[in-house]
């Protein structure tokens, strides 16, 4: 439900690079894929093996705030609003476009009992594709999938919508806050997010992918805590020597995602409290540990760099492949266990596609745009 916050990727060429944070971004992207796979095959929230995997999006938002603060805070007085926005659009939007196009190309191959793709006219699909490419949320009548998603051709693009809002608020307002006032904002938003987690009707923080039932405000609460919290961490956190920080953090992110739903369906507040604690306490600790640790050899550096590099294209291209795999399984009445070979092939295909998009599309296009527009 996501980077993306996942795509911060804005480190200055003259500053030390946080390789471990790159690696953790890739781990979180893989968690999102596992969540979506589990979501498709789960019969209810209690049979979902990665039932909290969507919280990786909050981790992405926090990483994005950390990286933006690290890269741009010291340029506040020299960089114009227009220059900042242009840099972010060049960094983020090429993959938004290809993700939408990929979703459109694969749409008619995703038919199952859950989705009658043949009933969607080509003209409507083309219009929905244009909206998705421009990051304009879909509304009733143009939401071609019928599940209420604001970006039905590539669901994870919802987080990019909120990422853009956070970036706009940063350059217009948040970057001008003193560290003290930024801390007040973070604590205020933490209280609001905790209240939302304890009282919303689903007992989760999984808001933002749809605007139904107050989803827009839920998404705004998520990004408006996590993004400023990451920014605050970039200003105040001090490094310390943490051995094995990447592995500890990676295991913690996986453990958060794989924990069973807390309180079942009868005590929704308990699950909301668990998720709020993950976002408010665990994730800031993971960002701090990731920023404190260092890779100790060339191999681990390459692994972290690879995971970080593919994380954004992986996040924005996996959904159409997943929907197609899920539709195939449903058409052939294949339960999860029988679908394991296809699921493993899907995960490797997603990684391969992400690498191809990175090497032959995302990086070349961004370089071309930077030469002409930056």
pLDDT value of position 4: 44
Confidence at 76, pLDDT banded by 50, 70, 90: low
Domain boundaries of the chain, sorted by first residue: 5-373
Of 293 and 71, the one with more pLDDT: 71
pLDDT value, residue 2: 41
pLDDT tens figures, 237-290: 877 777 788 889 999 999 999 999 888 777 899 999 999 999 999 999 999 999
Task: Please give the mean pLDDT across all residues of the chain.
Answer: 90
Secondary structure string (H, E, C) spanning the chain: CCCCHHHCCCCCCCCCCCHHHHHHHHHHHHHHHHHHHHHHHCCCHHHCCCCCHHHHHHHHHHHHHHHHHHHHHHHCCCCCHHHHHHHHHHHHHHHHHHHHHHHHHHHHHCCECCECHHHCCHHHHHHHHHHHHCCCCCCCCCCCCCCCCCCCCCCCHHHHHHHHHHHHHHHHCHHHCCHHHHHHHHHHHHHHHHHHHHHCCCCCCCCCCCCHHHHHHHHHHHHHHHHHHHHHHHHHCCCCCCCCHHHHHHHHHHHHHHCCCCCCCCCHHHHHHHHHHHHHHHHHHHHHHHHHCCCCCHHHHHHHHHHHHHHHHHHHHHHHHHHHHHHHHHHCCCCCHHHHHHHHHHHHHHHHHHHHHHHHHHHHHHHHHHHHHC
Percent of the chain at pLDDT exceeding 90: 69
Q: Is the pLDDT of residue 46 over 80?
A: no
7 pLDDT exceeds 60? no
Q: Residue 45's pLDDT is what?
A: 67
- 25-40 average pLDDT score: 93
pLDDT, one tens digit per residue, over 98-117 is 999 999 999 999 887 778 88
Q: pLDDT tens digit string along 150-194?
A: 999 999 999 999 999 999 999 999 999 999 999 999 999 999 999
Tens of pLDDT, residues 187-242: 999 999 999 999 999 999 999 999 999 999 999 999 999 999 999 999 998 777 77
Instruction: Report the pLDDT averaged over residues 32-47.
Output: 82
């Amino acid at each position: 439900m996501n980077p993306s916050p996942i795509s911060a990727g804005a480190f200055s060429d003259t500053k030390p690079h946080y390789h471990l944070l790159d690696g953790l971004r890739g781990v979180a992207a893989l968690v999102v894929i596992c969540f979506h796979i589990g979501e498709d095959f789960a019969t209810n929230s209690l049979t979902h093996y990665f039932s909290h995997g969507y919280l990786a999006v909050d981790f992405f938002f926090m990483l994005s705030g950390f990286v933006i603060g690290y890269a741009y805070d010291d340029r506040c007085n020299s960089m114009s609003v227009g220059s900042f926005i242009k840099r972010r659009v060049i960094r983020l939007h090429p993959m938004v476009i290809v993700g939408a196009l990929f979703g459109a190309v694969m749409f008619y191959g995703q038919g199952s009992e859950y989705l009658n793709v043949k009933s969607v006219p080509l003209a409507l699909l083309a219009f929905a594709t244009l909206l998705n490419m421009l990051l304009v949320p879909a509304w009733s009548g143009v939401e071609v999938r019928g599940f209420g998603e604001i970006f039905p051709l590539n669901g994870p693009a919802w987080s990019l919508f909120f990422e853009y809002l956070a970036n706009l608020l940063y350059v217009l307002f948040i970057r001008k806050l003193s560290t003290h006032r930024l801390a007040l904002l973070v604590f205020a938003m933490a209280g609001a997010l905790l209240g939302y987690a304890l009282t919303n009707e689903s007992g989760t923080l999984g808001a933002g992918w749809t605007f139904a039932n107050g989803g827009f405000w839920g998404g705004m609460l998520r990004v408006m805590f996590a993004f400023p919290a990451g920014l605050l961490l970039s200003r105040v956190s001090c490094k310390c020597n943490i051995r094995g920080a990447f592995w500890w953090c990676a295991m913690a992110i996986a453990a958060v995602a794989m924990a069973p739903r807390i309180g079942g369906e009868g005590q929704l507040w308990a699950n909301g409290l668990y998720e709020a604690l993950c976002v408010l306490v665990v994730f800031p600790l993971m960002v701090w540990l990731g920023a404190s640790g260092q890779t100790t050899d060339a191999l681990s550096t390459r692994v972290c760099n690879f995971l970080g590099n593919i994380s954004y294209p992986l996040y924005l291209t996996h959904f159409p492949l997943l929907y197609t795999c899920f539709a195939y399984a449903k058409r052939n009445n294949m339960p999860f266990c029988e679908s394991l070979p296809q699921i493993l092939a899907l995960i490797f295909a997603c990684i391969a596609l992400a690498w191809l998009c990175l090497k032959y599309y995302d990086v070349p296009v961004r370089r071309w745009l930077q030469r002409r527009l930056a």
